[in-house]
Structure 1
Amino acid sequence: MKLLENSKLEAISSTLSIHTPVCDIATRVESYSCKMAGDSKKLYKQLRNEPGTSPHDLEILGPSQTQSPTYNSSFLITPPPQILHAHPIARSMSSDDESTIAKTIPRKTLIFLISTLNAAFEPDYEFSSCTSHDFSRETNFELLKTEIDTRFLSSIGDHYRSLSSELWSTVDEEINVKESEIFSYCPDGTSDPFSESGIIWSFNFFFYNRKLRRILYLTCRADSKTSTNEADNDDERLETNNYLTFDDVMD
C-alpha cells in the first residue's frame, strides 16, 4: 500500500487535530493506493497463499459498529461485542442474500484493509494477525457520517461546525463515497494504538473504491489530558529517583 500525497487531506487532518482542556484530538484522513509493493506485497502473498484459502473466499465480519446498540454518541465508547468465530463461508452462497453479503468480506479486500493499517502505523504496530471479525461493514453512510459528526461536535463543538462540510466534500472528492464500500476496524483492546491507556474514544473507517483501487482511511482518537498529565508526573518521579546521589540514599 502506498500513501498518496494529497494537500487537502493533509490540511483537514491538521485542522481536526486539536488540543482541548479535556483531551487531545488526533485525526488522520489519508488515501492509499491498493498497488502492492515492498512489505505490503510480501504480506499480501503470505495471506493470499494460506493453505485452504482463496483471495475470493468470503469471510465473516464483526457486527456493524455504527448500527450496534452498544455504539452510541456518549463520551465514552463501549466497544461492540465481537463474533467469536470467523470462518470462510460456502462459496455457493446465493448472490441475492444481501443480509449475508453485508456481513462478509472477500479475503482479498480484507488483506487490503490489514495492509492499510500496517502502512499507516509502521513500524510501531503490526496488524498481520487481524482476522475478519476485527472489521465490520458499514452499509449506512448517513448514519456513519452522523456518528462521526456527533463525536467531533461533542469534543470540539463550534470548531468542527465550520469544518464539517469541508471534511466530507474533501473525502468525497478523493474517494467518491457513492462508489465505495465502507468498513470499520474495532481495536482488539490489547496490542494496537487504540488500546493504549488514556484513550477516551476512537474510530477507524475505510472507504474502499474498487474502480480507483484506492482506500481512504479516516481515523481519530481522543487522549485524556488527565491520563497524559499522570504519565508525565510518573516520568518526572522516575527521573528524580534515578538522579538520587549516594549521600541522598544514605540520608
Structure 2
Amino acid sequence: MKLIENTKFETITSDLAALENEYRLESRLEIYSCKSGTTTERKAFKSFVAAASPSAPDKDKEWLSPPDCVFNSGTSPVSNGSLSDTGGTSAPSGGILCDTIPKKTFWYLMATLNASYGIDADFSDVKSQMFSREPSVQWVMDRINMNFTLVLGGDFDRIRPYIWKAVDEAVVLRDCTVYSFSPDISYDPYAQEHNLWKFWYFFHNPGLKRVCFFQCRAVKNGMGSTMEPEMEGYFNSEDNETARFQAPVSTY
C-alpha cells in the first residue's frame, strides 16, 4: 500500500484537532493506493491470497461479521448490493458471520492499517471477523456526522461539507464499498484509554484501486478510563441508540 499525499486531508485533520473543547479529536484521514509496492510486499500479498484458511467459505474469500446496524435495528440493512445473502454461520467466538470479503480486499484493509500505524501497532494477524461491510456509504456518513456533532455541536457544520467533498474527490463515494473495523482488545491501540467513541472506516473503490482510511476517536480531556454517567447512558440506551442511527440524510 502506498500513501497518496493529500493536502486537503491534512487540513481536515488539523481543523478537527483545532476544534478541541472538553474533548479532543485524534483522527487519521488518509488515501492509499492498492497497488503493491516493494518486492517484499508483492510476495507477501501473493502468499496471503494463495493461503487457504480452514474457516473460510472458499479459497478466495473470508468471513465478515455483520454491521452494527443489524443488531441495533433487528433487521438486515438494505444496501446497494454490498451485502450478500450467505445464510450466515457461527464464528469461533460465538458470533454470527453473515457476509464475505474477497481475500484481496481483506489484504488491502490489513495493509492499510499497517501502513497507517507503522511501528505503533501490528495488524498482520488480524482476523477477518473483526471487519464488517457497512450497508451503504450514506449510512456511514450519517453515523460519522452524528459522532462529530455529539462532540462539536454546531462547530462541525462548518467543516462537514468540506470533509465529504474532499473524500468524494479522492475516492468517488458513489463507487465505494465501506468496511468498518471493530478490533478486540489485543488489536485495539486505544483499548486502555478513555474514548467517548471511536471508529475505523475504509472507503474502498476497486475501480480506482484506492482505499480512503478514516479513523477518529473522541477523548475526554483530563479523564481516566471511566465514561461520564450521562454519556454512558447515551450509548447504552436502546432508544437513544436507535435515534442515533436515524440521522438526517446528508449529501455529497
Specify if TM > 0.5.
Answer: yes
Residue among 80, 92, 99 paired with 1:85 = 92
The aligned residue for residue 215 of structure 1 is 211
The aligned residue for residue 50 of structure 1 is 51
Secondary structure of 2:223's partner?
A: helix
Moved more, 198-207 or 55-64: 55-64
Residue identity in the other structure for 2:45: Y
Question: Do structure 1's residue 60 and structure 2's residue 63 form an aligned pair?
Answer: yes
Unaligned runs of 5+ in 1: 71-82, 87-99, 231-251
Structure with the greater alpha carbon radius of gyration: 1
The question of whether the paired residues in 2 share the 8 Å contact of 1:200 and 1:221 is answered with: yes
Shift in Å, 1:67? 4.5
* Distance in 2, Cα, partners of 1:185 & 1:149: 18
* Distance in 2, Cα, partners of 1:14 & 1:40: 31
The aligned residue for residue 72 of structure 2 is 69
Q: Deviations over 1:78-117 (max 9, x none)?
A: xxxxx6339xxxxxxxxxxxxx6xx210011000000000
Shift in Å, 1:13? 1.6
User: Cα distance 1:228–1:214, how it changes in 2: closer, same or farther (>3 A)?
Assistant: same
The question of whether the paired residues in 1 share the 8 Å contact of 2:33 and 2:210 is answered with: yes
* Distance in 1, Cα, partners of 2:210 & 2:7: 17
* Distance in 2, Cα, partners of 1:126 & 1:110: 15
* Distance in 2, Cα, partners of 1:194 & 1:187: 10
Moved more, 215-224 or 50-59: 50-59
Residue among 101, 115, 118 paired with 2:114 = 118
Shift in Å, 1:56? 6.3
The question of whether the paired residues in 1 share the 8 Å contact of 2:49 and 2:60 is answered with: no
Q: Deviations over 1:22-74 (max 9, x none)?
A: 3211122110000112364354234223246899612220110344418xxxx
The question of whether the paired residues in 1 share the 8 Å contact of 2:52 and 2:59 is answered with: no
* Distance in 1, Cα, partners of 2:6 & 2:174: 20
The aligned residue for residue 194 of structure 1 is 190
The question of whether the paired residues in 2 share the 8 Å contact of 1:175 and 1:216 is answered with: yes
* Distance in 2, Cα, partners of 1:174 & 1:52: 33
The aligned residue for residue 92 of structure 1 is none
Shift in Å, 1:128? 0.9
Moved more, 141-150 or 10-19: 10-19
* Distance in 2, Cα, partners of 1:165 & 1:206: 19
User: Cα distance 1:9–1:218, how it changes in 2: closer, same or farther (>3 A)?
Assistant: same
Q: Give 1:139-154 correspondences, 5 Å limit.
A: 139-154=135-150
* Distance in 2, Cα, partners of 1:46 & 1:213: 20
TM-score by length of 2: 0.72
The aligned residue for residue 178 of structure 1 is 174
Moved more, 54-63 or 109-118: 54-63
Provide the aligned length of Structure 1 versus Structure 2: 204
The question of whether the paired residues in 2 share the 8 Å contact of 1:187 and 1:195 is answered with: no
The question of whether the paired residues in 1 share the 8 Å contact of 2:3 and 2:32 is answered with: yes
* Distance in 1, Cα, partners of 2:186 & 2:52: 28
User: Cα distance 1:198–1:184, how it changes in 2: closer, same or farther (>3 A)?
Assistant: same
* Distance in 2, Cα, partners of 1:23 & 1:36: 38
Q: Deviations over 1:141-196 (max 9, x none)?
A: 22211111010000011221111111111111110011111111112123332323
Unaligned runs of 5+ in 2: 74-89, 227-252
* Distance in 2, Cα, partners of 1:51 & 1:152: 40
The question of whether the paired residues in 2 share the 8 Å contact of 1:66 and 1:144 is answered with: no
User: Cα distance 1:149–1:66, how it changes in 2: closer, same or farther (>3 A)?
Assistant: farther
